Chain A
Amino acid sequence: MFDDIHDLIGRCIEREEKAWIEFIDRFSGLVYYSARERLKKNGYSFSEQDIQDIVQNVFIDIWEKSMLAEVRERHKIKAWLSITGQTRALNFMRKKKERLLSEEELFKVENIVSDKKEDYRAELIEELEKAIEKFPLREKIILKLNIVHSRTHKEIADFMNMPINTVSTIIARRKEFLRKILNSTT
């Protein structure tokens, strides 16, 4: 119905009902996915009801606080919505955890967040961060994306708006360097 995203957001700012219905139909999936992924990656234990509450709260906030009027880059609304969804998801789970702690449900199995696998992963990340501490900014980010987040060279190049050959060269050179450091410390 509204092909142009600028037009859709403009009409949402004017509180046009049809525009809002389309906005929700178009972007609720994205917010749902983002909230869910963020909680999974942070190791939270959550229910379908939690995700639904989070997504509802995001849209209610956007509506009540007229947050769309503050979005400068309308063509990048998806990125903004995703990050907003993730932030709200984390806040929601923190508040839920506080509530559960106050209700003395601390020792229930389903409320335990981390397991040994996550602790091991956290140690590895810490070791990597120490090793790359003095690298240039972009190289740090590229290595983290490749080693910690298992992104391909193409995805990293697209994400950072860089040529893929540059990314590949940096990864190859720095991985060799890291291998030497790790071999020398063991």
Chain B
Amino acid sequence: MKCLDEKALSSYLDERLSDVERKNIEEHIADCNICLGMLLVAYESQHCNKKCPSILKDKIKNRLGLKQPKKRPELKWFFAGLFFFVLSFVFRHYFLQFLAISVILGFKWVMEGESAKRVIMIFKGIQEKEKKVERKSSPDVSNISGGDRYGKPE
């Protein structure tokens, strides 16, 4: 049984589809679980509000060569960090505590920046490659000698 193409199948979810066209599609999906399953997921996807990871959206836009407006990291973290830094000098008794908070907020401001995200992606990419290389490398068999099942020479 040849499955329906994407355009024909997706038209089933159109309320304005004619009865004849609807019946043609139903003739197929009554016996084709693959197409029926696909339509169900398409139906569910229209009623839910799923989000895509923002890194993936950026990757897609980069692959298509789309110029994106540069996102500046949230300045609120920068100003909050600056505020606590200034407080650390005003309230000297709590110098270390306020300094620690300002460092944390400053770190958060940096991590939200695009360059930090790129560094994290590169790092993750390197880790995944290393895992793949480990899996592919075959075990070292040079030390295995013949013998009984416990490796003792016969």
Contacts and interface: CB of A to CB of B under 8 A. Distances in A.
B66 A21 contact: yes
Interface residues of B, number: 48
Interface in B34-63: 36-46, 48-53, 56-57, 59-61, 63
Given A20-B66, A80-B7, A84-B6, A29 B50 contact: yes
A149 B29 CA distance: 14
Contacts of B12: 79
Contacts of A29: 49-52
Interface stretch (B19-27, B78-86, B93-101, B105-113): B19-27
Nearest to B31: A140
B41 A24 contact: no
Contacts of B56: 28, 32, 52, 55-56
Q: Is the interface of B mostly helix, strand, loop or mixed?
A: helix
A91 to B, nearest CB: 12
B13 interface: yes
B46 A82 contact: yes
B26 A161 contact: no
Given A32-B52, A33-B48, A34-B45, A76 B64 contact: no
Contact of A82 (B10, B23, B30): B10
A164 interface: no
A144 interface: yes
A137 B30 contact: yes
A148 B29 CA distance: 14
A20 B57 CA distance: 11
Contact of B30 (A38, A49, A55, A140): A140
Interface of A: 17, 20-21, 24-25, 28-34, 37-38, 41, 49, 52, 55-56, 59-60, 63, 70-73, 75-76, 78-80, 82-84, 86-87, 103, 125, 137-138, 140-141, 144-145, 148-149, 151, 155, 158-159, 161
